[in-house]
Chain A
Amino acid sequence: MVQIIEKRQLTPITSLYRVDAPLIAKAARAGQFVIVRVREGGERIPLTITEYDRETGLLTIVVQEVGATTRRLGELGVGDHILDMVGPLGEAPEIPSGGHIVGVGGGFGSAALLCLMKELRERGEKTTVIIGAREKSLLILADELAEVTDNLEICTDDGSAGFKGFVTERLQQMIDGSPPGYPDFVISIGPMPMMRAVEKTTAAARVPCTASLDPLMVDGTGMCGGCRVTVGGEVKFACVDGPFFDAHTVDFDEAVARSKMYVKEEQKAADCQRSAHEEEAA
């Protein structure tokens, strides 16, 4: 059981949690993730580590309510417990030193970038972060990111904040020479369509790019193989070999298809949860 020490609502469906998980906080590295289970009979789902504090033993995670399990998490508040949490899982990405490193985050991918950018800042790297959302109110952790990067570039689809357009359009401008300048290495974390678009943009300019994949997982230790992705023609397990892979060699078609395996079931689980709630309320 892991206790929630602090909770902050970032958007109507996204919350940040600081939890008391000293063993994980002590071992964590930027880019790794945890697996949680919220209740008996609940699913195991992976969540990226947003921050860790080895001294206080606190671990920060950001959760977007998209399915039954994340909605259940959303119902928890300060003092409540998360039933199970295990980690840190996966490997920290290898990011080359020197040059201009650009982190691109879409939606709640920004949360995963925070930890990495902080580590790159400590390493003394020159960095830029591009984050994007549909509109201003859906942007998360902009202030926190601004503190750990040299340049924060904000993009919104509707122009309600920063650059009007997609993160890839802003990235393309930089590739074309607009300040803060040409990216030597890109880290891409976000929804699959965004990561795919970032891959295309960087591939055309031959910029190396690593993407953080979050396929379906059960155990997170390499035991089930459910998270397999094809990278450079080879089958890899995202839980132990990833979650970061060379974006230019990832089979995104397959990864997208696999991510949709349980779309119907996810809906069913959410419906079941809703009707249980209504019964409770009645």
Chain B
Amino acid sequence: MPVKRVDKTPMPVREPGQRAHDFEEVNAGYCFAHAMFEAERCLRCQDPVCVDGCPVRVPIAEFMHAVAANDLPKAAEILRHANPLAAICGRVCPQESQCEMNCHMTKRFGPVAIGHLERYVSDWEMAQPETDEVKEPWREEKIAIIGSGPSGLVCAGELARLGYHVTVYEALHAPGGVLRYGIPEFRLPNKILDWEIKQLERMGVEFVNNVIIGKTVTMDQLFKEYGFAAVFIGTGAGLPKFMGIPGESLNGVYSANEFLTRINLMQAFEFPRSETPLKVGKRVAVIGSGNTAMDAVRSALRLGAEHAMVVYRRSEKEMTARIEEYEHAIEEGVEMHWLTNPVEVLGEDGWVTGLKCVKMELGEPDESGRARPIPIEGSEFVFPVDNVVLSIGTRPNPLLVKSTPGLKTHSWGGLLVDERQVETSVKRVYAGGDAVTGAATVILAAGAGKRAAEAIHHDIQTEAA
């Protein structure tokens, strides 16, 4: 069929000139014709290696068949069974380094747009009329989930499907974790997240906001007073790292976490109607090159920055952001400064005025396997800036560990888990996602949540038998 031998159908996007000034979604989504055409490009491989690239092992070939046959209810069912967060993953997964990287079409024509189709089918599903029917758990055991980010949501969904009473505890006033406070609405609208959470509620999952396990209620209380049979920790990696360079506490310097939380969770872009402020000047430098850095720098543009810059000590090649976010950032006018390392934040009267940097060159590979950036002597210069946003990574929050005796971690803060990669050093306490691995992707966290749910089910049933 000739239709297979063409390039990947591009995602329709809103014009950069328009979208760079608001927080509406950038990607417009495939239309019916796009979706049918793209699904036809799938080669129907005997051995679909794309699945091996998917942390939750969505049966992609069957999914493609269903889409190509325009059997969207079936396609949606296949997706949802494998991935309770399909509408989100279709938007934020780095497909280019997962399923689509393995696609046999990748080399010559570009991969089948698995991610775009995942989104198409999820959007179709969201548009269907729904009932208010709530499924009742049929098993006796109660499971507590700590944290409502991707790993917690998926673990909750899987356990609810298996019939358990599931309660998800969230420290903030709204569920979603990093999906709520971290990823901006132009990439993941809150209404998509709200819909996914509603689906979980319809499956019988209970959400409790404003409770910090380790502070409001201890782990011990969860078992002894509340009678939970097992606990899953999905507390993520929410603690921002700072560089430790002079001037980081000047006004106008933010961690990417704070910058994005003010925008996404607290809706600072509607200030003063929404009461949480954010100071964004004309020139904003974001340090780092991951998805969070791209989210922050593009948010800065949308909040009126005339020069929104990414400053990164390595080169474009070592950048860790999804390619789509990077391309969108460039289209929107973000300035990229590679091989540039900040050494000091300069200020006047307590406020940021500049970012002093040094030029770098690449040397031999370092322990991460990437070329080591080396400062070029005498190359210091200053960017005049009003804001500096640090997006150089996060680590797991020690709050729960500090208050839970016996809960062991690596020296860098990640929770230690057993050979199944799910159970912690405390019996019946499981963990997954960034709290175990350090900052990673939504889909890896989802995969971990799913694995933990299976293990919890297995352990409870084995003990009962």
Shortest CB-to-CB span from B41 to chain A, Å, is 42
Q: Pick out which of these stretches binds chain A: B88-96, B129-137, B234-242, B362-370.
A: B234-242
Assess the B272–A44 pair: CB atoms within 8 A: no
Determine chain B's interface SS by DSSP, over half rule. loop
Assess the A68–B275 pair: CB atoms within 8 A: yes
Which residue in B257, B271, B274 is a CB contact (below 8 Å) of A224? B257
Shortest CB-to-CB span from B238 to chain A, Å, is 4
Q: Complex Cα distance A266/B276, Å?
A: 9
Contacts of B251 in A (CB 8 A): 257-258, 260-261
Task: Tell whether A269 pairs with B240 under 8 Å between CB atoms, given A221-B212, A222-B399.
Answer: no
Determine chain A's interface SS by DSSP, over half rule. mixed
Assess the A224–B242 pair: CB atoms within 8 A: no
Assess the B242–A41 pair: CB atoms within 8 A: no
Chain A, Cβ-Cβ closest to B270: A41
Q: Which of B164-199 contact A (CB under 8 A)?
A: 171-173, 181
* Interface residue? B273 (CB, 8 A): yes
Q: Complex Cα distance A68/B274, Å?
A: 11
- Determine the interface band of chain A, counting residues with CB < 8 A from chain B: 35 or more
Q: Annotate B262-297 by CB proximity to A: 1 below 8 A, 0 otherwise.
A: 100111001111111101000000000000000000
Contacts of A44 in B (CB 8 A): 173, 266, 276
Assess the A222–B277 pair: CB atoms within 8 A: no
Q: Which of B186-224 contact A (CB under 8 A)?
A: 209-212, 215-218
Q: Annotate A76-94 by CB proximity to B: 1 below 8 A, 0 otherwise.
A: 0000000111111100000
Shortest CB-to-CB span from A83 to chain B, Å, is 8
Q: Complex Cα distance A240/B218, Å?
A: 16
Assess the B216–A222 pair: CB atoms within 8 A: no
Shortest CB-to-CB span from A68 to chain B, Å, is 5
* Interface residue? A186 (CB, 8 A): no
Q: List 5 A-B contacts (CB under 8 A).
A: A85-B210, A87-B215, A224-B258, A228-B249, A265-B272
Residues in chain A within 8 A of chain B (CB atoms): 23-24, 27, 37, 41-44, 68-69, 83-89, 218-219, 221-226, 228-230, 235, 240, 254, 257-258, 260-262, 265-266, 268-269, 271-273
Residues in chain B within 8 A of chain A (CB atoms): 171-173, 181, 209-212, 215-218, 238-240, 242, 244, 248-251, 254-255, 257-258, 261-262, 265-267, 270-277, 279, 349-350, 397-399
Besides the contacts A86-B172, A224-B240, what 13 more A-B pairs have beta carbons closer than 8 Å? A83-B173, A84-B173, A88-B215, A88-B216, A89-B212, A219-B181, A223-B257, A224-B255, A224-B258, A224-B261, A228-B249, A235-B242, A235-B249
